[in-house]
Amino acid sequence: MKRTVCALALFTCALALVMAGGDAEQEQSEGPITIDYSFWGNPVAIGVERDIIDAYHAMQDDVRVAPIVSGYSDYHTMLLTQMAGGSSPDVMRIDSYFFQDFLALNALRTIDDLVDRDNVDTSVYYPQGITENTSDGELYGLPWATSVLYMFINLDVFEDAGIPVPDFDWTVDDFVEIARQLTDGDRYGFAIGLGGVSSILPFVWAEGGDLFDESRERFTLNEPEAVRALDRLAEMYAEGLIPEDSITAQTDTLTRWFVNGQIGMRMGAVSEILSTQAVEGARFEVINMPTGPAGNRTTVYKSNIVGIGSASQNVEAAWDFLKFLRGPEGQGEELYMIAKRMSPAIDDQRYWDLYADPTLYPRNVEGNSKIIAAEYGRLLPLTGGWLEVDNLVAPELQGIVSGAISAEDAMNRIADDAQAALDRAR
Amino acid sequence: MKRIETRDTGRLAVGIAYLALGLVAVSVLGPLLWAVGTSLKTYGEVFSRGLAFFPEVPQWDNYVEIFRIAPFDRYVMNSVIVSLFACAFTLLTSAMSAYAFARLRFPGRDALFVLYLATMMVPQQVILIPNFLLIRELGLLDTLAGLVLTRVFVPLGTFLLRQFFMGIPIELEEAAIIDGMSYTRRFVSVILPLAKPALVSLFIVSLLAAWNDFLYPLVFIRTDTKRTITLGLSILQGDLDIRWNLVMAATIVAVSPLVVAYLALQRLFIEGIALTGSKG
């Protein structure tokens, strides 16, 4: 009996010790203010953020920044749950896919007043980034990782087939013909991941269709232009220009096929440049998506938001850090560029000089990205309910491309639900 | 002649059974073997020889690298602390409540038991935010103690042990009563020693649940040095450039303590599962 009581007592003491290791709620009566900054990343990305936070700490003594980090896939869930529990970070990064949903929850405060007061020059950013940080004419954050969803070109495969890297004005017809010429035995012209609507929108845009109408209030992926584009992809699949497993392939599978020369072309984000570069001997280029009869702007251009939480009790401190992190005068962009993990959100040659390394593939990333931004880039029609619509469309894409269902039937089948999701979000 | 045919048929059946078991073993061990192999590959090999089981040259440095790029030793230690405390408290609260529900007589006992069991039907996600608020009010947010506290009361544990306790002959307790033992003494000296297999089963089940928990640490823990191993693994996959060789190395490190615990307690675990099952 005594032994049991002793064991329980030890247990309680040990637990108390563990508890003593925890931080109590922050007390900010004296000394520097501590603000929370939340972001996603892997250890390398977190290292870059730490460097920025350290540089900020070295610059001043009044504000300390406490990072809140998780992996991307769980990040927004974590943030939303913490907010629902009344615990909102002062400064937070939000993927633009979630921007409208966070605004609907009143999670961010507008920074217009702070920008005006401190004369922060927002014209230095790529305008697409500012657009994605703006809602109803109000600016809610500063852009982070404004970048392109490129077409990756495997130079070895192209050279082997005797095909030059396409020009910027290549069309969907050219693309299909190139895919046909590249396809040879176990080698395929193109592979596409069908995990989301972003992957098919370039082809839809090329045909003149879109996910929503201009007001972003009506679902339009069931209209003839969009259906035609989806049917075109299904035809490519039926012709054997796209690998059979492509419709269920994850990003890493596409990278494996690409670096092994099993596919000649794939779509990929700027972060996938990193994973492809890391494979020794991978020779590749990044270009815009094929254009079409509806115009040249068929390449997805996307940004993200770094804003201040509406519940922040330390707005001035949060703004000071945000300016350092993302502002034109801050050191944040420079440190991001030195790490080469993303292309610049600020249109400034010195950042490109830091980011782009002409000795590494893709060697024309700077020039091509600038041209795409100016002439071929197009923002996603992000709006409230986007995620819900995306979740409806994505499973249908596999059926369409594999030929199990016609694009028209599939899109008509989900049109009412998609429209309802849009209506709910308004 | 008939006996020979019967013997041949028996051998065939055994052969088919072995073949089936072999296939099951391959399907279970194959992915694990692939994970071990991938953990020893270079990053390039993950893509160039992704389907190959083993690397050309084993990269043992991957196991050093994961501790260099993130404090995985700390993550493992945090998981050990949370899991052991959570298991210990689970055993304590489950055994005590199970004993009460199995042996004590008080008004509304069965109704209370059903009500307690009914909480098993509520998904963890539903009570995440109320728990978050509670832990925050207790000042235990971003502490390992907060994580432990969310796992202290486990209705499944109460249910399992109650079923086991009900199978222990009442005569043993009656003899203890004649010897003048109190409830506490009977519980500690008679019931718990007899329930060792069931307690070990519950320990392993609780250990698995606490070790693999991801949602609660994700929401409750903010500081890097307080992350558990599951959060550490998630961080390794935190961006699009995932180094799968390191993820696999970290995964092997993450599951190793569980495998060791299972192997050490395997006999009692199987015995406990069999007993709680048959007595239930």
Q: What's A68's domain CATH number? A: 3.40.190.10
3-state secondary structure chain A: CHHHHHHHHHHHHHHHHHHHCCCCCCCCCCCCEEEEEEEECCHHHHHHHHHHHHHHHHHCCCEEEEEEEECHHHHHHHHHHHHHCCCCCCEEEEEHHHHHHHHHCCCEECCHHHHHHCCCCHHHECHHHHHHCEECCEECEEEEEEEECEEEEEHHHHHHHCCCCCCCCCEHHHHHHHHHHHCECCEEEEECCCCCHHHCHHHHHHCCCCCECCCCCCECCCCHHHHHHHHHHHHHHHCCCCCHHHHHCCHHHHHHHHHCCCEEEEEECHHHHHHHHCCCCCCEEEECCCEECCECCCEEEEEEEEEEECCCCCHHHHHHHHHHHHCCCCCHHHHHHHHCCCCCCECCHHHHHHHCCCCCCCCCHHHHHHHHHHHHEEECCCCCCHHHHHHHHHHHHHHHHHCCCCHHHHHHHHHHHHHHHHHHHC
- Residue-level pLDDT at B276: 58
Please report how many Cα atoms fall inside a 13 Å half-sphere around the Cα of residue A132, on the Cβ side. 31
Q: How far is B180 from chain A (nearest CA, A)?
A: 15
Interface of A with B in 226-285 (CB under 8 A): 251-252, 255-256, 259-260, 269, 271-272, 274-275, 278-281
Tell me whether residue A6 is in a domain: no
A19 found inside a domain = no
The domain tally of chain B equals 2
Q: Do A69 and B224 touch (CB under 8 A)?
A: yes
The partner residue sitting opposite B235, judged by closest CB among A14, A42, A280, is A42
Both B252 and B122 in one domain: the answer is yes
Q: Is the Cβ of B81 closer than 8 Å to some Cβ of chain A?
A: yes
The Cα-based distances of A302 to A42, A68, A127, A367, A373 in angstroms read 20, 24, 11, 18, 10
Q: What is the pLDDT of residue A20?
A: 40
Q: Are residues B44 and B94 in the same domain?
A: no
In a domain, A100, yes or no: yes
CB contact set of A80 (below 8 Å; sequence gap of 6+): A105
In a shared domain, residues B79 and B215: yes
Inside any domain, residue B55: no
Radius of gyration of chain B (CA): 24
Q: B85 vs A18: CB contact, 8 Å cut-off?
A: yes
**A-chain residues within 8 Å CB-CB of B69?**
43-44
Beta bridge partners of A138: A135
- Measured CA angle at A110 (ends A109, A111), to 5 deg: 115
One-letter amino acid for residue A276 of the chain = T
A121: its two tokens: 């020059």
pLDDT (mean) for B119-136 = 89
- Asked if residue B126 belongs to a domain, the reply is yes
Domain with A61, as residue range(s), is 32-146+302-355
User: Would you give the DSSP letter of residue B267?
Assistant: H
- Binary contact (A279, B188; C-beta < 8 A): no
- Dihedral pair phi/psi, residue A134, rounded to 5°: -115, 140
Range of the domain at B15: 2-48
What average pLDDT does this structure show over B173-194?
90
Percent of chain B whose predicted confidence (pLDDT) is above 90: 55
Same structural domain for residues A212 and A225? yes
Residue B63: inside a domain, yes or no?
no
Compute CA distances B93 → A116, A191, A251, B222, whole Å. 59, 55, 46, 28
Are A101 and A202 within one domain?
Answer: no
Q: Are residues B19 and B93 in the same domain?
A: no
Domain count, chain A: 2
Closest CA to A343 of A321, A382, A319, A372: A372
Indicate the residue of B46, B69, B139 with minimum beta-carbon distance to A43: B69
Instruction: Please judge whether B85 and A15 are an interchain contact, meaning their C-beta atoms are less than 8 angstroms apart.
Output: yes
The complex's ipTM works out to 0.78
Cβ–Cβ of B218/A78 closer than 8 Å? yes
Map tokens 């049991």 to a residue.
A4
Task: Check whether residue B80 and residue B167 sit in a common domain.
Answer: yes
| CB of B200 less than 8 A from some CB of A | no
Domain-located, residue A7: no
- Would residue A136 count as lying in a domain? yes
User: Is there a domain that residue A12 lies in?
Assistant: no
My answer on whether A294 and A330 are in the same domain is no
Task: Please check whether residue B24 lies inside any domain of the structure.
Answer: yes
- Domain for residue B60, yes or no? no
Q: What is the mean pLDDT of residues B82-104?
A: 94
Query: Under an 8 A CB cutoff, do A22 and B140 touch?
Result: yes
Distance from CA of A400 to the nearest CA of B (A): 27
Q: Would you say residue B264 lies in a domain?
A: yes
Question: Number of CB pairs < 8 Å for A and B?
Answer: 148
Q: In the beta sheet, which residues pair with residue A305?
A: A94, A143
Do residues B137 and B172 both lie within one domain?
A: yes
Both A67 and A210 in one domain: the answer is no
Distance between A207 CA and the closest CA of chain B, angstroms: 30
CA distance A172 to B40: 42
Per-residue pLDDT of chain A (426 residues; tens, 9 = 90+): 444 434 443 444 344 434 444 443 344 457 899 999 999 999 999 999 999 999 999 999 999 999 999 999 899 989 998 888 888 999 999 999 999 999 999 999 999 999 999 999 999 999 999 999 999 999 999 999 999 999 999 999 999 999 999 999 999 999 999 999 999 988 999 999 888 999 999 999 999 999 999 999 999 999 999 999 999 999 999 999 999 988 888 888 899 999 999 999 999 998 889 889 888 889 999 999 999 999 999 999 999 999 999 999 999 999 999 999 999 999 999 999 999 888 999 999 999 999 998 888 999 999 999 999 999 999 999 999 999 999 999 999 999 999 999 999 999 999 999 999 999 988
Note which residues in 172-201 of chain A have CB less than 8 A from chain B: none
State the CATH number of the domain containing residue B86.
1.10.3720.10
**Cis preceding-peptide flag for A362 (omega within 30 of 0):** yes
- Interface check B93 vs A, CB under 8 A: no
Least confident piece of the model among A4-13, A162-171, B140-149, B186-195: A4-13
Whether A252 and A398 share a structural domain: yes
Residue B2: per-residue pLDDT: 60
- Nearest of A269, A258, A274, A284 to residue A380 by alpha carbon: A269
Q: In this structure, are A339 and A203 located in the same domain?
A: no
Residue B223, domain member (yes or no): yes
Question: Are A159 and A137 in a shared domain?
Answer: no
With an 8 Å Cβ cutoff, is B172 touching chain A?
A: no
CA distance A251 to chain B (A): 8
Count of CB atoms situated within 10 Å of the CB of B208: 15
pLDDT of B252 higher than 60: yes
| A210 located within any domain | yes
- Which H/E stretch holds residue B256? helix B244-279
Interface test with A, best of B222, B230, B237 (most A CBs within 10 A): B222
Check: CB of residue A44 under 8 Å from CB of residue B241. Answer: yes
Our CA-based measurement puts residue B11 at a distance from the nearest CA of chain A, in whole angstroms, of 41
Same domain, B167 and B74: yes
Q: Output DSSP code: residue B226.
A: G
Same domain, B114 and B12: no
B171 touches chain A (CB under 8 A): no
Residue partners of A146: CB distance under 8 A and separation at least 6: A125, A126, A128, A129, A132, A301, A302, A303, A304, A343, A344, A345
CA atoms within a 13 Å half-sphere pointing along the CA-CB vector of A128: 28
Residue of A nearest to B219 (CA): A78
Domain check: are A246 and A205 in the same one?
yes
Please indicate, yes or no, whether residues A204 and A266 belong to a single structural domain of this protein: yes
Cβ of A74 and B226 within 8 Å?
no
C-alpha span between B201 and A375 (Å, rounded): 65
Residue A207 and residue A254 share a domain: yes
A154 found inside a domain: yes
> Minimal Cα–Cα distance from B15 to chain A, Å?
36
Which chain A residues contact residue B193 at CB under 8 A? none
Do B187 and B138 share a structural domain?
Answer: yes
Question: C-alpha angle with apex A300: A299 to A301, nearest 5 degrees?
Answer: 110
Pair B190, B133 in one domain: yes
Contact B222 A18 (CB under 8 A): no
Contacts of A71 in chain B (CB under 8 A): 234-239
Does B127 fall in a domain?
A: yes
Nearest residue in chain B measured CA to CA from A258:
B47
- Indicate whether A161 and A187 sit together in one domain: yes
- A118 and A212 fall within a common domain: no
Say if the Cβ atoms of B222 and A22 lie within 8 Å: no
Q: What's the confidence (pLDDT) of residue A29?
A: 56
Question: Both B43 and B144 in a single domain?
Answer: no
How far apart are the CA of A249 and the nearest CA of chain B, in angstroms? 14
Q: Which of B43, B81, B85 sits opposite A279 (nearest CB)?
A: B43
Q: CA-to-CA distance for A350 and A346, rounded, in angstroms? A: 10
Identify whether residues B170 and B36 lie together within a single domain. Answer: no
Interface subset of A 348-377, CB within 8 angstroms of B: none
| B positions 3-42 inside 8 Å of A (CB) | none
Going by pLDDT thresholds of 50, 70 and 90, the confidence category of residue B3 is: low
Asked whether the beta carbons of residue A72 and residue B240 sit closer than 8 angstroms, the reply is yes
Sorted by sequence, the CB contacts under 8 Å of residue A191 that are 6+ apart come out as: A242, A243, A246, A249, A254, A257, A258, A263, A265, A266
